[in-house]
């Protein structure tokens, strides 16, 4: 049987040998918002359409990919055994179901949901901070962090390495696309309306257009939101600082794409703005902008569709020993989700998956 004969499209590569140099990549949730970004990044990396497997809730749909219509299938044990790597762009319950079934047959799975992030035997990875966790994993599963966590870690890792971290206080400003298509649809439905009601199917705790919503996820008995508790635990795990003093306030803002965060930190050891600035300038995955206004401060509009985490507004906090403030912006669908997952796969096995990284944007 010819390569791709059962996929519904003609091969766009001339030989089986050429295809064999690529891994076979699965994307579960391929028609969703994050799933679409996975496919876009893989297309930029030139993964042949014949090497992409798209999965969803039902048969009969397709995703457009590099000029081909790739059919969407239900993930079965048989289809899982064809894969070299599987990216999960689905919710927690679906991830658990997949990992209890067909996912066990895949050599490497990277899960974008919160289902396994805090499991002791599952590495939670941001490669700029803990690539070794992907390389040294014991099983076939890697967890992808919360979208805000991923961006913040890229900024904090070089500071941790330079002067240690004693405490991190942050306020996040999270785009509506972080809530998926329902979040974007609610935002678009509310924009330009004269009333102050939220959209009927809004996933937010209040109207998001022309406002901000200072609660993401449900509140616990102490008043912390689920999103805030995720960030607390994930920062400690990824940075390998289990006793880190951390407190987050997470806020949804009327921005389509691009999460931002204001960070107030205290280092363990004495350092200077100059030393911190030098560490941030040479850090991987990060684009530093000086606080003096000589360059535009990081903003969501500057980062949408791009790979790096933008860091700026670095300054010493007056009267606070070893206290510093900084500002971070990142594309929550790329570095906050799909790109970080692909980078984690590459960190786990550079020889097999290195080609999945596209030219930087």
Q: Which residues are catalytic?
A: 147, 259
Kindly give, in sequence order, each residue whose CB lies less than 8 Å from that of residue 192, ignoring residues fewer than 6 positions away: 209
Are the CB atoms for 130 and 238 separated by under 8 Å? yes
245-252 and 259-266 beta bridge pairing:
unpaired
Which tokens is 306 given? 């791009």
Q: Please name the helix (run of DSSP H) or strand (run of DSSP E) that holds residue 130, with its range, or none.
A: helix 127-135
167-174 and 62-65 beta bridge pairing:
unpaired
Are the CB atoms for 341 and 112 separated by under 8 Å? yes
Query: How many DSSP H helices and E strands does the chain contain?
Result: 12, 13
Which tokens is 63 given? 């995703």
62-65 and 68-73 beta bridge pairing:
antiparallel
Q: List strands edge to edge, sheet with 52-55.
A: 62-65, 68-73, 52-55, 25-28, 85-88, 108-111, 141-143
Helices (H), 8-125: 16-20, 33-44, 77-80, 92-99
d(Cα 29, Cα 89) in Å, to the nearest integer? 5
Q: CA of 156: how far to CAs of 134, 263, 322, 338, in Å?
A: 19, 9, 14, 20
285: left (phi over 0), alpha (psi -120 to 50) or beta: left
d(Cα 276, Cα 266) in Å, to the nearest integer? 12
């Amino acid at each position: 049987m010819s390569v791709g004969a059962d996929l519904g499209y003609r091969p766009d590569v001339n030989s089986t040998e050429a295809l064999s140099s690529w891994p076979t990549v699965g994307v579960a949730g391929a028609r969703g918002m994050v799933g679409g970004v996975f496919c876009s990044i893989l297309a930029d990396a030139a993964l042949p359409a014949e090497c992409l497997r798209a999965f969803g809730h039902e048969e009969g749909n397709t995703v457009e990919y590099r000029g081909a219509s790739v059919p969407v299938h239900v993930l079965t044990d048989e289809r899982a055994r064809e894969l070299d790597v599987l990216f999960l762009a689905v919710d927690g319950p679906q991830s658990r179901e997949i990992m209890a079934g067909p996912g066990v047959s895949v050599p490497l799975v990277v899960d974008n949901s919160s289902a396994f992030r805090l499991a002791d035997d599952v590495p939670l990875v941001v490669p700029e901070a803990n690539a070794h966790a992907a390389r040294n994993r014991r099983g076939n599963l890697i967890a992808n962090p919360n979208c805000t966590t991923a961006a913040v870690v890229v900024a904090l890792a070089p500071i941790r390495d330079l002067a240690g971290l004693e405490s991190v206080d942050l306020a996040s400003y999270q785009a509506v696309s972080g809530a998926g298509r329902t979040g974007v649809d609610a935002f678009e439905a509310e924009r330009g309306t004269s009333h102050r009601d939220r959209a009927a199917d809004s996933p937010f705790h209040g109207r998001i257009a022309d406002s901000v919503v200072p609660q993401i996820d449900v509140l616990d008995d102490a008043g912390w939101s689920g999103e805030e508790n995720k960030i607390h635990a994930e920062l400690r795990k990824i940075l390998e600082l289990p006793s880190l003093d951390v407190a987050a306030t997470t806020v949804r803002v009327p921005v389509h794409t691009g999460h931002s965060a204001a960070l107030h930190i205290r280092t363990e050891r004495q350092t200077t703005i100059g030393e911190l600035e030098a560490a941030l300038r040479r850090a991987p995955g990060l684009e530093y902008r000086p606080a003096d206004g000589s360059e535009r401060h990081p903003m969501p509009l500057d980062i949408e569709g791009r790979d790096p985490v933008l860091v700026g507004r670095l300054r010493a906090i007056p009267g606070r020993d070893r206290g510093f403030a900084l500002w971070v912006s990142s594309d929550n669908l790329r570095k906050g989700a799909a790109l970080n997952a692909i980078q984690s796969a590459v960190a786990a096995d550079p020889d097999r998956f290195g080609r999945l990284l596209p030219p930087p944007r």
